[in-house]
Chains A and B, each alone.
Chain A
Amino acid sequence: MKNRYSIFSLIKNAFSYHENWEKAWKDPAPKKKYDAVIVGGGGHGLATAYYLAKKHNIKNIAVVEKGWIGGGNTGRNTTIIRSNYLWDASAGLYNHALKIWEDLSQELNYNVMFSQRGVMNLAHNLQDVRDLKRRTHANRLNGIDAEYLNTEEIKKFCPIINTSPHIRYPVLGGTLQRRAGTARHDAVAWGYARGADEMGVDIIQNCEVKAIKRNGDSVEGIETTKGFIKTNKIGVVAAGHSSVIANMAGLKLPLESKPLQALVSEPVKPIIDTVVMSNAVHAYVSQSDKGELVIGAGTDDYISYSQKGSHDIVEGTLNAILELYPIFSRMRMLRQWGGIVDISPDASPIISKTSIKGLYFNCGWGTGGFKATPGSGDLFAHTIANDEPHELNAAFNINRFVSGDLVDEHGAAAVAH
């Protein structure tokens, strides 16, 4: 049993100048064979390993990670967590995750700083209003907390938003999910890693998958930069690089990998204590506990694995930010970065078996996978352990692209009349 984290263990360790803390996770060399190998040491992958070990009694598991755990989109996203999705399937999936988030710090004995400060989505035209009302009604009937706010209520909840009717795209209303919020992204990866490690999961960093070995229609193992690892179950959770791994197994996925950018401002004292998202003018903003404004930008339209996007995207996002928050004009951008997101045609994820036995994919989260991390891990673990999806991820099978039963979360089509 590891050091349990608490204020008492902190005090105790202070007396020994914090010299006696144990490793949060070991750094083992890979074994020759595992019962299951998870490819990708981000939040989703580590969570998958955690739940495989915890709920499905599979202990001989490795998580192989090309770089360092949590270094991909887990450590690059703007950490928005919400479950107010339109379709039943999505609502089920994301609300499952949200419920786990609510107890995750205690579950992992690692403070993931899940902060239910609320998420607002703003409407800027009449079709936005219809769409957001539609979603609010659907959420309510699906048991997800959702409120539709008029402009005055929005102003009251977040006074710094410019709700003047005279701006280019005035705020006409919006939704609020109070249970939604943010979490500390690194802590999610580290907390799951620590928990999985404690149950015997091998977390193997700097281990890149080079090939997937197949025997007919089944997998036999993976070739890595640290040698061959034998296994009959491979769960791939390699956001951004899903297609690269799929191609190794001779599969094509309905995905495109695109640059997604984000930025933070310099830290300031609390000025906005909720998360505000605006799809129509494309600006997402929240404030981290450190005081930085955390701003999500959009994706570029071209495929790229360079982790760099174009400046136009950042500029467009800040245009929108200043439209909605003119008080931020003199704030300064401290840091910007890019990640690679794999985007599916219906903007919903794939958590699915494949045509190859023992090969499972969890991908296609696009720009919004972080919020699902615990639920995604739990359901993917279930899918791998049982070779069958859980009812909550059944709709997210890869076959929907063949049959046409898409879970289209793009929202309504372009405004038109």
Chain B
Amino acid sequence: MFIINCPFCGEREQSEFKAGGEAHIERPKQPTELSDDEWAEYLFMRKNIKGIQFERWNHMHGCRKWFNMARDTSNDEIKAIYKIGEKPPIK
């Protein structure tokens, strides 16, 4: 179980958090203009990366804030944590 350094609260047990899947998938601003395919791309299609993944986490049983994390999904090593709206600090 990881230790996650919540950008608002500090280090906490993973059990306080909820994962929210791949980050930086912006909700389309004009959904009605999209084709079914384009909408499905937003809705369901995921990179599901093995390696460094940028993903969303929520400090559900804490401050309830969402933030981003860069994590190596092959070994669960957390590489960076950054706020929503920020660019990933690593590549």
Chains A, B in direct contact (C-beta < 8 Å): yes
User: Min CB distance, A303 to chain B, in Å?
Assistant: 5
B37 CB-CB contact with A under 8 Å? yes
A257 CB-CB contact with B under 8 Å? yes
Known: A402-B36, A402-B37. A306 touches B43 (CB 8 A): no
Known: A305-B74, A403-B36. A310 touches B14 (CB 8 A): yes
- CA separation between A257 and B50, bound complex, in Å? 9
- Closest residue to B69 on the A side, CB-wise? A302
Q: Chain A contacts of B18 at CB under 8 A?
A: 301
Chain B: residues with Cβ within 8 Å of the partner, total of 27
Known: A243-B47, A244-B50, A252-B47. A303 touches B15 (CB 8 A): no
Number of A-B contacts defined by CB within 8 Å: 74
Q: Chain B contacts of A241 at CB under 8 A?
A: 50
Q: Are A312 and B48 in contact, with the CB atoms below 8 A?
A: no
User: Min CB distance, A304 to chain B, in Å?
Assistant: 5
A345 CB-CB contact with B under 8 Å? yes
A256 CB-CB contact with B under 8 Å? yes
- Closest residue to B71 on the A side, CB-wise? A302
Known: A303-B55, A312-B1. A252 touches B74 (CB 8 A): no
Known: A252-B41, A257-B48, A401-B43. A303 touches B75 (CB 8 A): no
Tell me the A residues contacting B by CB distance below 8 Å: 241, 243-244, 247, 252-257, 300-306, 308, 310-312, 342, 345, 401-404
With A303-B22, A306-B73 known, 15 other A-B pairs at CB within 8 A are A243-B46, A243-B49, A252-B48, A253-B45, A253-B46, A254-B44, A255-B46, A257-B50, A302-B55, A303-B21, A303-B53, A305-B50, A308-B76, A312-B15, A345-B44
